[in-house]
Structure 1
Amino acid sequence: MNSDNSEDHKPKLANKQRSRLTSGLSQGKVKPQDIGLKILAQPVDVEDIEVDIVAVHGIGVNPIKTWVFKENNVNWLSHETMLPAAIPNARIMAFGYASYWFGDEAVKLTLDGVARKLLMALGSARDGCKHRPIVFIGHCFGGLVIQQAYTIAALHHKDEDFYGIFDSVTGVVFLGTPHYGVQDSFQRQIQGQIYKKVAEANIQVQDNILHSMAPDNDLLVKCVFDFTRTVALEQQQAPKLFCFYEQKPSRIDLIVGLPNITQEFIVNGSSGILHGHPCECLPLDHFSINKFEDNQDDNYISVRRQIVKMVKGSKYIMKGRKIIQVPPMGDYEIIDGHKLQRLEGAGTTRTKQETVGDEIHNGQISPACY
């Protein structure tokens, strides 16, 4: 009898556990309208736009809420007193993607897949100005997405969908990005208590992306190596990189709504920096390092300082790259002895070099920025 009662209670316990776990996804369901590249702020006159700032979030979040400071509902990327005020000539955008790794909304993510979606969206949004400078902001996994996207754009710089992106990236700010993997202790917690509770509740899990952020993971190592190598090859014209890393451990229970789980560092100082590039610590945990209360928040001031610095330096980097601008309405222009012809087709702008000899800009003639 007791055994039968125990069996009867199992479904009820599983449902209760499931309810507790799924309540951890407090940011809510992600709708198709929430994902993709969204413009958060830009000048009234689009002709005044001088730079694109693109923010990319991490995993397990709602793309609409992830940049918002919960207590006052301020999004520092869009609030009129924050980043738009600091850089009024910027078009500020956020790239969102489905990123839940457990629960009914779980999706199977790949680093390459998200990076290519970012490039496709960005290429389409920049159809009118292929060589406007780009400054990226990446939180956690979002920083790795940016790295992968940059490498893909470099390798396929002639691809019509990605055209001009590699040449235009002038800076990247990383917020708690696990360049060398998340903490081993965090991985053990995920694989231990959290996995156990998720399994008991019979909840869908797509955890492949978590494994890709483990220390010494081959995909992670290759992503960071290819990115840093590609940046280094640009030498004086390389995009500026800056890393912010967390100083406080994070409440891992917030991920899934479970109590009494030890606080852990998710991305520590040794993993949150890129060797040879400047960095700064922030007295925040992993889940708050991408959210700021107001324009007097000292953590915001630190991050804003680096973004503004990158934006100001963009024109000098672009000038050093000697990107060729072809007049929008001109049929031909002679530049350095080369005859260039403007071609129209398939909604894009291309140029044709009509001289035999060295190719310009490694075989790529850059389209007009207009």
Structure 2
Amino acid sequence: MDSDAAGDLQILFSPAEEPPGATLDIVAVHGLGGDAIRTWTYNPKIGKSTTWLKDLLPTKLPDARVMTLQYDSGVFGRSAHSVRENARKLIQLLRDQREDDEAERRPIVFLGHSLGGIIIKQALRLAKQDPAFRDISTSTKGIVFFGTPHRGSDKAKWLGMLTAVTSTMTNRPESAFVEALQSNSDALLRISQDFQSLGKDYAIVSFYEEHAHRVLGSLVVDKLSAVMGLPHEEVMMLGGDHSAMCKFTGKTDPRFNPVWRAIRRASKGRA
């Protein structure tokens, strides 16, 4: 495993340098309250943890370099920066990493959990508009979403009310992301509308959560919000609640099979 990182873009796995070397870049972006490693890691009470991005995915896609973005996504984050600013950070870090490796033309597949999917959509919009990042736009073949609230989530409103009260009591600022993820959010609507014209260029796979959150007693992001409704979009239910849907217990976890296959299909772009 390669432990190098370009700023906050960590490389979890990189194939050997001798030919053919890496033929694909996979970039994972975590969601609200998540973490570059923890979001994608199953931690059993007893035994070894499994970070499937480095422990499982390379066994199926050995020619893929796997990276994960770290950004401040805490509900009470110190950072007050927006989706747009974090999206620009993503493409800046990715550009720098690909320049260093002379891999500007290597195909890309993005993986986004929850808010991470929103950041990816905004990043591709920015990359399309800015010639400095155009190679990221043209090299991207597909996106795999895990419970991304394209239309927002009522549970974000619930979370917003909770954090507002707690923020007042603890004098800790509420993250700007909470408001952005609410249903009917103007920011979310703009991102979704802007992406509609871009989505046709990429293979799109949208996984939606099967199980209710054990505390809330309902889905965090329902199917209606997790699916964009694009004609070529591949839609699939994935076992687990909003958090567990992107954590796999090991190579025998049956939920991993449709995920790695979806990533492989996405790497080929639109048919």
Paired residues for 1:1-370 under 5 Å: 36-45=8-17, 47=19, 48-71=21-44, 72-79=48-55, 82-102=56-76, 106-127=78-99, 128-156=102-130, 158-159=131-132, 162-182=133-153, 184=154, 186-200=155-169, 202-232=170-200, 238-251=201-214, 262-276=216-230, 277-311=233-267, 313-314=268-269
Structure 2, unpaired ranges of 5+:
none
Relative distance call for 1:74 and 1:180 in structure 2 (3 A) is: same
Relative distance call for 1:73 and 1:203 in structure 2 (3 A) is: farther
* Residue 358 (structure 1) aligns with: none
Decide whether the 8 Å contact of 1:42 with 1:92 is kept in 2. yes
SS in 2 for 1:137: strand
Q: Structure 1-normalised TM-score? A: 0.66
Relative distance call for 1:268 and 1:129 in structure 2 (3 A) is: same
Deviations 1:197-219 (A, max 9, x none): 4433x140223211111111111
Matched to 2:152, the amino acid is G
SS in 2 for 1:270: helix
Relative distance call for 1:191 and 1:210 in structure 2 (3 A) is: closer
Q: Please identify the structure whose Cα radius of gyration is greater.
A: 1
Relative distance call for 1:94 and 1:142 in structure 2 (3 A) is: same
SS in 1 for 2:225: coil
Question: Counterparts of 1:287 and 1:122 in 2: how far apart (Å)?
Answer: 25
Decide whether the 8 Å contact of 1:250 with 1:285 is kept in 2. yes
Give the deviation of 1:65 after TM superposition: 1.7
SS in 2 for 1:152: helix
Alpha-carbon RMSD: 2.0
Give the deviation of 1:73 after TM superposition: 1.2
Relative distance call for 1:192 and 1:37 in structure 2 (3 A) is: closer
Deviations 1:155-212 (A, max 9, x none): 11x22xx141111000100001000101x2x234324445434433x14022321111
Question: Counterparts of 1:215 and 1:293 in 2: how far apart (Å)?
Answer: 32
Aligned-pair identity (%)? 29
Worse overlay, 269-278 or 46-55: 46-55
SS in 1 for 2:226: coil
Worse overlay, 132-141 or 281-290: 281-290
Give the deviation of 1:62 after TM superposition: 2.9
Decide whether the 8 Å contact of 2:144 with 2:266 is kept in 1. no
Decide whether the 8 Å contact of 2:157 with 2:182 is kept in 1. no
Decide whether the 8 Å contact of 2:205 with 2:266 is kept in 1. no
Aligned pair count?
Answer: 259
Matched to 1:109, the amino acid is H
Deviations 1:318-337 (A, max 9, x none): xx9xxxxxxxxxxxxxxxxx
* Residue 349 (structure 1) aligns with: none
Give the deviation of 1:225 after TM superposition: 1.4
SS in 2 for 1:58: coil
Question: Counterparts of 1:282 and 1:90 in 2: how far apart (Å)?
Answer: 23
Question: Counterparts of 1:188 and 1:51 in 2: how far apart (Å)?
Answer: 38
Give the deviation of 1:45 after TM superposition: 1.7
Highest relative contact order (Cα 8 Å, sep 6+), 1 or 2? 2
Give the deviation of 1:35 after TM superposition: 6.5
